[in-house]
Amino acid sequence: MVTDLYSLPLVTQEGEPLDETLEKVVETVQFSIFCFTLPFYIFVTYFMLDALHRGVEELSTPFFRLCITTAFIDIWTLLNNYLGAMFPKWGWGTKVYSFLDGYYAHAYLYFAWSSGICQAMCVSLLATNRVSAILFPQKHSRMWSSTRLRVAIAIQFLPGMLAGLTTFFNETQLYRNTKNGVVPRFKSESFIAVLFMIAGAFLLTVCIYLILAYCYLLYMLRKSSNAIKNSHFHKSRAQLKKKEVKLFFMSSITVAIQISILCLVIVYATSLLNFPLDKFYLFYNAISDLYAGINPYLLWIFSDSLRKHIFIRIGLRRKRKVPSSSIVTVNQ
């Protein structure tokens, strides 16, 4: 427990100091987006759960079930980023953070590292779901049966939570920055380097898989679109394919952000651009917020079914009633 904030060691500055104007602009924009994104994400997640509870067929698929579990990870990542890093960095609630001391530092660093792996697993599973939906449309429902879906959900959480336990093998230290804020860090620089190497290797593996899967999927989409043009498929089949393509593009955007995070980690870990730690965290936190907060917007833009359900539930659109049909019998 730290009783005096000024007893904490100052953050050591390495390399060129971070431009204060740039830092202020990035963090102001980042926080403004967070203030809107968090309630909007909760709003969208609530209606996804509502659709699942009501048995809305189009929104009860394995893809949307995975989106729901991904939403919980994303929301927790956003909260951990601000409650554990941004607020104490700005000097908000420093007495509370100083009182919690090592408990706060370990909790934040554990969830920061584990949530990153959980997010990568979520993106991989969503991409795998889209690949299987387009490549194996007949076997897709069996491939993602309830039992296998539970395994997929476990894969979203368990690897990250278990890998995050490595953060408890090193001591933590609270530092004081020039704004009289609190910054939690590991004491050992070599331990940080090992963590970055492990994270970089894991992200590289995930990104290689995603790039290969999506390149093959793009080829198959192009092939199947040509088949639709040159055949007399029913209109409903073409519409179904269009929905699958929309969800594919939605997943592709999150993959692009995943690759950008990998590039940032590689740049820092290999010191290609002489990136100081404070500058790395400035850009990493911004991209991490984008990564964790973009899904509700993508779901809103690309999922017509979800938008329709939300509009119906909040009373902005009426549910279309299917007219009842009567059978006329003729007595011979």
In this prediction, residues 300-329 reach a mean pLDDT of 74
**Tokens 């979203």, residue located:** 156
Structure tokens at 204: 């590289």
Confidence check: pLDDT of 70 > 90: yes
Confidence check: pLDDT of 18 > 80: no
Confidence check: pLDDT of 242 > 70: no
pLDDT of residue 330: 35
List, for residues 183-206, the tens digit of each pLDDT value: 999 888 888 888 888 888 888 888
**Buried (b) or exposed (e) across 218-248, using 16+ Cβ within 10 A?**
eeebeebeeeeeeeeeeeeeeeebeebbebb
Is 323 contained in some domain?
no
pLDDT of residue 96: 92
CATH label of the domain that carries residue 175: 1.20.1070.10
Domain that holds residue 260: 5-14+22-225+232-313
Query: Interior CA angle at 119 toward 185 and 205, to 5°?
Result: 95
Is 188 contained in some domain?
yes
Confidence check: pLDDT of 58 > 70: yes
pLDDT of residue 170: 87
pLDDT of residue 240: 55
47 SS3 class:
helix
Confidence check: pLDDT of 321 > 60: no
Is 72 contained in some domain?
yes
More confident: 66 or 327:
66
Is 327 contained in some domain?
no
Is 136 contained in some domain?
yes
Query: How far apart, in whole angstroms, are the C-alpha atoms of residue 111 and residue 128?
Result: 25
- Nearest to residue 112, comparing CAs of 82, 90, 87? 82
Is 319 contained in some domain?
no
In this prediction, residues 15-24 reach a mean pLDDT of 79
Q: Let me know if 318 is exposed, middle or buried by CB neighbors in 10 A (0-12, 13-18, 19+).
A: exposed
Q: Count the domains in the chain.
A: 1
List, for residues 297-313, the tens digit of each pLDDT value: 999 988 889 999 999 99
Is 306 contained in some domain?
yes
In this prediction, residues 109-128 reach a mean pLDDT of 90
In this prediction, residues 42-66 reach a mean pLDDT of 94
Q: Say if CB 120 and CB 203 are below 8 A apart.
A: yes
> Which of the four pLDDT bands, split at 50, 70 and 90, describes residue 327?
very low
**Tokens 């001591």, residue located:** 171
> Which of the four pLDDT bands, split at 50, 70 and 90, describes residue 324?
very low
